[in-house]
Amino acid sequence: KLKSAVTKSQQKIDQINQMHTLATKEIGKMGKRDLWFLGIGLYLGEGCKHNETTSIANSNPDIILIAIKWFKEICEVETKNFKARLHIYPDNDEKKSIEYWSLITGIPKNQFSKTQVDRRTNKSNKKIGRIPYGTMHLNVKSLGNKKYGKMLHRRIAGWSNAAIEKITSNAGVV
């Protein structure tokens, strides 16, 4: 039984590696337009769609890093315009979480606002230890520059709506 389990486990690892290699070849090089559309999709899934707030939240650092790259390279947002907020659970260390996200993102600690600690007692314990640094909410603040406030939110909504319209009408699909 143990030998069979080891063999199956190795087969799974080999298949995952094969699919990763294949996927890398299929995707090929990615340019600025690819990043633009990846960011729109990311915003549709993880972004704030109300109150004209420009924000993406996720617990996966890779997703947050893609969002930062998208905001900087496509939306022309500067690091000083980012405001970060963490949502953590009682088993998370707030100070370590802020240090982690600041190091990963390059956003200075003084641009982190008050951390929200989820103390609800009616929640499942399934997430204990599974989100070691909490969820980061990456917000874009205008800081007096009108192109980053409501206008950026409206611009992203425009891109999202246009992409959805083109794809659902098949006019933009070749």
Residues 14-37 pLDDT 10s: 999 999 999 999 999 999 999 999
pLDDT digits (tens, 9 = 90+) for 44-97: 999 998 889 999 999 999 999 999 999 999 999 999 999 999 999 888 999 999
CB 38 within 8 A of CB 137: no
| Token code pair at residue 26 | 């299929």
Model pLDDT, residue 109: 97
CB 140 within 8 A of CB 82: yes
Give the span between the Cα atoms of 162 and 172, in whole angstroms: 10
Question: Does the structure show a pLDDT above 70 at 140?
Answer: yes
Is the model's pTM score more than 0.75? yes
Model pLDDT, residue 124: 61
